[in-house]
Structure 1
Amino acid sequence: MQKNLHTQDQLLLRELLIEYRNAAGITQATLAARLQWEQTHISRVERGVRRLDVLELRHWVSAMGVALPDFIEKLEQRLEAHSPPRL
């Protein structure tokens, strides 16, 4: 498994993070304030310049009012839908 920021899986993760943020009506600045981060940090993650670790991801989705298991379930659905068939 590749560990770089430019894989299809990373793209799907970032797209889902952005979708959830937009659906919640939260700007990058608002999310950053909730996380006590700089807005540029949010932008770097959403643009694929920086990764999130699992604890950061948990904090991030919680700040949008989403439980981590619910987010992971949706992410798994996206990943499975875009995965090549398993032989």
Structure 2
Amino acid sequence: MSSGTSAENDFHHALANALSELRNERHASQGTLAAELGIDQAAVSRVESGHRRLTVAEAFAWLEALGLNADESAITLRDLWRTHGGRPPGFWNEGGRG
């Protein structure tokens, strides 16, 4: 999983950790989450270990399967991006414009 910028890599690593922690907080096994998502347990393991990245749609599906609603999922992803993947200030995100 080395493609992408350092910030993107940091974000995906943080997302993988957050998903694993949330699953553990819910006392759900990887197999239980996999069944909820309609995938196999090995796919859950690959994501949680950072060997596979999720698309935005997949991340929302995982968060929903773990009990978050759409608003909570959006906030979680936004906060992870701000902390681990945010880009430096630029035209679209300077001074409260983005």
TM above 0.5: yes
SS of 1:29's equivalent in the other structure is helix
For residues 43-69 of structure 1, what are the alpha-carbon distances to aligned partners after superposition, in whole Å with 9 as ceiling and x for unaligned? 011111111112222221111111233
Shift of 1:27: 0.8
The corresponding residue for 2:78 is 76
The corresponding residue for 2:62 is 60
Matched, 1:20 2:22: yes
Matched, 1:43 2:45: yes
- 2:64/2:73 contact within 8 Å kept: no
In structure 2, the CA distance between the partners of 1:58 and 1:76, relative to structure 1 (3 Å rule), is closer
**Distance in 1 (alpha carbons) for counterparts of 2:84 and 2:43:** 27
In structure 2, the CA distance between the partners of 1:60 and 1:21, relative to structure 1 (3 Å rule), is same
TM-score (norm 1): 0.76
Say which one has the larger Rg. Answer: 2
In structure 2, the CA distance between the partners of 1:74 and 1:29, relative to structure 1 (3 Å rule), is same
Gaps of 5+ in 2: 90-98
- 1:12/1:78 contact within 8 Å kept: yes
Cα RMSD between the aligned structures?
2.6
Shift of 1:82: 4.7
Shift of 1:77: 2.7
Q: Alignment length, in residue pairs?
A: 85
Q: Percent identical across equivalent pairs?
A: 32
In structure 2, the CA distance between the partners of 1:41 and 1:69, relative to structure 1 (3 Å rule), is same
**Distance in 2 (alpha carbons) for counterparts of 1:81 and 1:3:** 15
Shift of 1:40: 0.1
Please tell me the residue identity of whatever aligns with 1:29. G
